Amino acid sequence: MGPSGSGKSTLLYALGGLDRPSSGAIEIAGYRLDSMSSEELAHFRRDTCGFVFQAFHLVPTLTALQNAALPGVFSRIPTEVREDRAARLLDALGMGERLDHRPNQLSGGQQQRVAIARALFNDPPLIMADEPTGALDSKMGRTVMTMLRKLCDRFNKTLLIVTHDPSVASYADRIVMLHDGKIVEDRLQAPEERYLNA
Q: What is the 3-state secondary structure (H, E, C) of 79-143?
A: HHHHHHHHHHHHHHCCCHHHCCCCHHHCCHHHHHHHHHHHHHCCCCCEEEEECCCCCCCHHHHHH
pLDDT of the residue at 151: 80
Q: How far apart are CA 133 and CA 168, in angstroms?
A: 8
Mean pLDDT for 190-196 is: 74
Superfamily of domain 1-22+31-53+124-198: P-loop containing nucleotide triphosphate hydrolases (3.40.50.300)
Read off the pTM. 0.84
Lowest mean pLDDT of 9-18, 57-66, 131-140, name the range: 131-140
Q: How far apart are CA 90 and CA 68, in angstroms?
A: 8
Res 196 pLDDT > 70: no
Res 99 pLDDT > 80: yes
Average predicted confidence (pLDDT) for the chain? 90
pLDDT of the residue at 197: 63
- For the chain, residues classed under CATH 3.40.50.300 are 1-22+31-53+124-198
